[in-house]
Each structure stands twice: as C-alpha cells, then as structure tokens.
C-alpha cells in the first residue's frame, strides 16, 4: 500500500511556472476571489501554447484540410496530420492511421458501438462492463444489447471502490464477446489494472475497449502495453479544446468496420450505384473535421510531454495525499473511494452530512472554489454508493496545496451556513 505523500514531494514540478501558462487561473470571480479550479475531471483549463497554436491557424493559414492544393490548405493539412502523428506517439500506437479524430470520448465509444458492435454483437452474446463506467461507456452498450438481444453483465466494486476482480473473472469465464471498461473512474479516482484485465479478457476471447478519458491526461498510457483493441479519450480533459478526441483501434479491426458517418472526405469514389470508402483513418472522419481543435490537441500533447506524465501523476498524488487526511479528519464529511494512494488518481469525492452537494458547490463558488456536484454521469455508481450525488474535487498539474486548504476552508463555511 502506498503511503500518503508529504508536501515536499511536489518539488519536482514547477507549479508556479506552469500556472503562468494558464491565463484563466489568474482571473478573479465576481466576488473578487482568485479562482480555485478543482473541476479538472470535467474539463481542464488551456495553456497559452494551445491557444497560440489554434490562433496561428485562424490568423495565418486557415483553410479546409485534404481539399486544396494551395499553400494555406496544405499548411493546415500538414498541421492536422502532424497532430495525429503526435497523438500516435503519445499513446505508443503502432501506426498513425490507427488514430481517428472524433469530438470526444463519447463519440468515440459510439463510433465503436455502431461500426464494430452492430456487425459483431449478436443475440445471446455477452457484454461485460462495470459499475464504475461513465454513462458514455455504458449506455451505448446497453442500447446495443437491447437492439441485438445480447446481454450485459455489470461487475461491482468492493467497499474501497475497487473493481471486484473475482466477479470479473467469473463473468469472463462465462464467455464475453466484449469487455468495455474504464481505465480510471471519473467518480472515485480508482485506476483499474487494465493490462492484467485485458490479458484475462483476451484469453477468454473477448474484444476489449478501454475508456481512457480520465487516464490519458494524468499518467502514461501505452496501447501496445495495455493490449486492448480500442481505446478512447477526450482532448478537453487534457488541456486541449472541446471538439477534440480520439479513437485508437487496431488496424486489423478498423479495416473491417463499416463507416460511422457518410459524406465528404470518408469516400474514395462515388458512382450512382455504389460508393467505396477512403483509407484509414479518413474512412471514419466524414465531413470537415474539427481541424483547429485537433491541432490544439497536438499542442496539448507537446505541452504534457514537456512537463512529463509521470511527474504530473506524482504531483496529483501529492495533492491527494495532502487533502484526504484533512477530509477524513473533518466531522460530518464522508469520503468515497480509495483512502490510500495505491492505484488512484487525483479525484476525490465526498459529501458533507446534512448538506446537498449542489448546495455545497454553490457555497464553495462564493469562496471562489470550483468543484463538481451531482452524479457525474454515473448513476449506477451512485446507486452502489447509496447516495444520489457527491461533491467532487479533481486535480491537475497546475493545482496547489494552498488550493487544497481553500477547499477545506470552504467546507467550514458551508457548515457554518447550514449550522452543522
């Protein structure tokens, strides 16, 4: 078991310099408070380097990609495809053509559910998933099962918020056509040991999709090492703009899959009676891509690699190790998920007894502290925890210990307001 880390462990990350790259973090709220942004599991802030990369396109060579032979179009196309190559290296994809640009992880899961699932999941097949899943990695499979006559097995968690591996193994032994599993829980911060789990699933004959929306921004992710068949993630959670996201898939599978959308850029030839599809990855990128967002994603990858994913992960664990004991020592605060730092990221969910999470978040806002309150698009997990909602604080590379103290102080304010 990993012990709590002291404050000095963060010295390897120059947070002051990092924060200077994020203009929004110096803003004041309407009440004059300096913003304390602790909602990074929902979306991250964007550094100047990403904003500048996007601004350069708009100001210097904006043109549609893959269509023009003039300079602006060729420059923009090169930047777009360069971003694909950066992403491929970032996740250690064997080939850039296996990286498909989508708007977000939700679209990515739906792409796989439609383009792979509808040709491979049949009546009587079994889809295995877990109670930790974001709705985006549950509802598409639920609906696919309803359409095809397949069944869904949902693996539970233990009291500490970790996946029930024994139940998972039992479900896989029954036969699974697909395992759809999150790498990291957006509600509890639990990291699933996906490398081990994928090996078990593949041995049982399952195809495996990993939802990495909460892991790719925070720790090194290597698709070759994990061994999955598909991996999806969103750009907006990793310093990139909304409208950027990725599906990675094995070329052997992608080549056999039907297109997700039909139209421009995903075709090779159209005749009155037939159409042939473009090559990978463009077969899955119909219409005008969000090319400026994708270029921003490439810049975000450069930024994260410059800082170092391992250093970011250590920093977030240091903050978590500082905050958790303070929360656990606060009367009336209930903390959900792992209480130690083994196999977790910087997501901390809690409730204050007697105060609804929405009221907590509102009071926090008056103190300049931004947190998420609700079911976090994971109602099955909330049902398992026995609560309708939680308050969630989530860290990133620019957060500080002082911001942890601000959150603790805001809890005191909420308790005073509600006389608890």
Specify the range with the lowest mean pLDDT, choosing from 3-17, 207-221, 251-265.
3-17
Q: What is the mean pLDDT of residues 161-185?
A: 98
**pLDDT reported for residue 417:** 96
Asked whether residue 419 carries a pLDDT value surpassing 80, the answer given is: yes
Q: SS3 letters for the chain?
A: CCCCCCHHHHHHCCHHHHHCCCHHHHCECCCCCECEECECCCCCCCCHHHHHHHHHHHHHHCCCCCCCCCHHHHHHHHHHHHHHHHHHHHCCCCCHHHEEEECCHHHHHHHHHHHHHHHHCCCCCEEEEECCCCHHHCHHHHHHHHHHCCEEEEECECCCCCECHHHHHHHHHCCCCEEEEECECCCCCEECCHHHHHHHHHHCCCEEEEECCCCCCCCCCCHHHHCCCEEEEECCCCCCCCCCEEEEECHHHHCCCCCCCCCCCCEEEECCCCEEECCCCHHHCCCCCCHHHHHHHHHHHHHHHHHCHHHHHHHHHHHHHHHHHHHHCCCCEEEECCCCCCCECCEEEEEECCCCHHHHHHHHHHCCEECEEECCCCHHHHHHHCCCCEEEEECCCCCCHHHHHHHHHHHHHHHHHCCC
What pLDDT does residue 168 have? 98
* 292, 54 contact by CB (below 8 A): yes
pLDDT (mean) for 206-211: 98
pLDDT tens figures, 46-70: 999 999 999 999 999 999 999 899 9
Q: Where in the chain is the domain with CATH 3.90.1150.10?
A: 7-34+308-417
pLDDT band at 1 (very low <50, low <70, confident <90, very high): very low
pLDDT at residue 264 in the model: 86
Token pair 């690699």 is found at 305
Confidence of residue 265 (pLDDT cuts 50, 70, 90): confident
The secondary structure of the chain in percent helix, strand, coil, rounded to multiples of 5, reads 45, 15, 40
Q: Is a pLDDT exceeding 80 seen at residue 9?
A: no
Range 51-306: architecture per CATH = 3-Layer(aba) Sandwich (3.40)
When pLDDT is averaged across residues 232-245 and rounded to a whole number, the result is 98
What residue spans in the chain does CATH classification 3.40.640.10 cover?
51-306
* Lowest mean pLDDT across 192-196, 206-210, 273-277: 273-277
Query: What does the pLDDT average to over 358-376?
Result: 97
User: For residue 401, is pLDDT > 60?
Assistant: yes
**Other C-beta atoms within 10 Å of 286: how many?**
17
Q: Rounded to whole angstroms, how far apart are CA atoms 181 and 132?
A: 8
Q: Please state the rounded mean pLDDT for residues 94-109.
A: 98
Q: Is the pLDDT of residue 87 over 90?
A: yes
pLDDT at 2: 37
**Region 199-215 average pLDDT:** 98
Q: How large a percentage of the chain has pLDDT more than 70?
A: 97
Phi, psi angle pair for 393, to nearest 5°: -105, 135
Mean pLDDT of 364-393: 97
**What architecture (CATH level 2) is domain 7-34+308-417?**
Alpha-Beta Complex (3.90)
Query: What's the mean per-residue pLDDT of the chain?
Result: 95
Span 138-160, average pLDDT: 98
Q: Which residues contact 169 (CB under 8 A, 6 or more apart)?
A: 200
Q: pLDDT grade, residue 3 (50/70/90)?
A: very low
Task: Determine the 3-state secondary structure of 12 from DSSP.
Answer: helix
pLDDT of residue 420: 86
Query: Which residues form the catalytic set?
Result: 377
Helix axes 291-307, 71-90, angle to 10 degrees: 40
Q: Which residues contact 327 (CB under 8 A, 6 or more apart)?
A: 333, 335, 348, 350, 408, 411
pLDDT of residue 5: 42
pLDDT of residue 323: 98
What DSSP string describes 158-217?
-TTS-B-HHHHHHHHHT--SEEEEESB-TTT-BBP-HHHHHHHHHHTT-EEEEE-TTTTT
- Unique residue bearing structure tokens 């604080």: 393
What per-residue confidence (pLDDT) applies to 321? 97
pTM to 2 decimal places? 0.95
pLDDT at 4 over 80: no
Section 237-255 average pLDDT: 98
Residue 10: what pLDDT? 43
């Amino acid at each position: 078991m990993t012990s709590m880390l002291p404050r000095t462990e963060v010295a390897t990350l120059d947070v002051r310099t990092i924060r200077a790259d994020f203009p929004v973090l110096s803003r004041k709220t309407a009440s004059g408070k300096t913003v304390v942004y602790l909602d990074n599991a929902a979306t991250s802030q964007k550094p100047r380097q990403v904003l500048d990369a996007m601004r350069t396109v708009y100001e210097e060579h904006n043109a549609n990609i893959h269509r023009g032979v003039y300079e602006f179009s060729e420059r923009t196309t090169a930047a777009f495809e360069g971003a694909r190559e950066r992403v491929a290296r970032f996740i250690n994809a064997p080939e850039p053509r296996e990286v498909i640009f989508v708007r977000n992880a939700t679209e990515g899961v739906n792409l796989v559910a439609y383009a792979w699932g509808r040709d491979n999941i049949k009546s009587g097949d079994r889809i295995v998933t877990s109670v930790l899943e974001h709705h985006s990695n549950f509802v598409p499979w639920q609906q696919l099962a309803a359409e095809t006559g397949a069944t869904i097995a949902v693996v539970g968690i233990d009291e500490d918020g970790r996946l029930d591996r024994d139940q998972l193994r039992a479900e896989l032994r029954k036969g699974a056509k697909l395992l759809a599993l999150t790498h990291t829980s957006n509600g509890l911060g639990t990291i699933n040991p996906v490398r081990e789990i994928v090996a078990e699933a593949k041995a049982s004959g399952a195809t495996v999709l990993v939802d990495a929306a909460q892991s790719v921004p925070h720790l090194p992710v290597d698709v070759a090492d994990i061994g999955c068949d598909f991996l999806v993630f969103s750009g907006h959670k990793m310093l990139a703009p909304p409208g950027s996201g990725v599906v990675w898939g094995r070329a052997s599978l992608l080549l056999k899959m039907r297109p997700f959308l039909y139209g421009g850029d995903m075709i090779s030839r159209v005749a009155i009676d037939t159409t042939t599809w473009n090559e990978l990855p463009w077969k899955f990128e119909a219409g005008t891509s969000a090319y400026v967002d994708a270029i921003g994603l490439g810049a975000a990858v450069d930024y994260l690699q410059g800082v170092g994913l391992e250093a970011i992960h250590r920093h977030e664990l240091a903050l978590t190790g500082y905050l958790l004991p303070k929360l656990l020592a606060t009367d009336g605060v209930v903390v959900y998920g792992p209480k130690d730092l083994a196999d977790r990221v910087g997501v901390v969910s809690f409730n204050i007894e007697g105060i609804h999470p929405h009221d907590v978040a509102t009071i926090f806002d008056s103190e300049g502290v931004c947190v998420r309150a609700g079911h976090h698009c994971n109602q099955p997990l909330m049902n398992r925890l026995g609560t309708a909602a939680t308050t969630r604080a989530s860290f990133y590379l620019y957060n500080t210990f002082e911001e942890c103290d601000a959150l603790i102080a805001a809890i005191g304010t909420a308790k005073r307001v509600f006389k608890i």
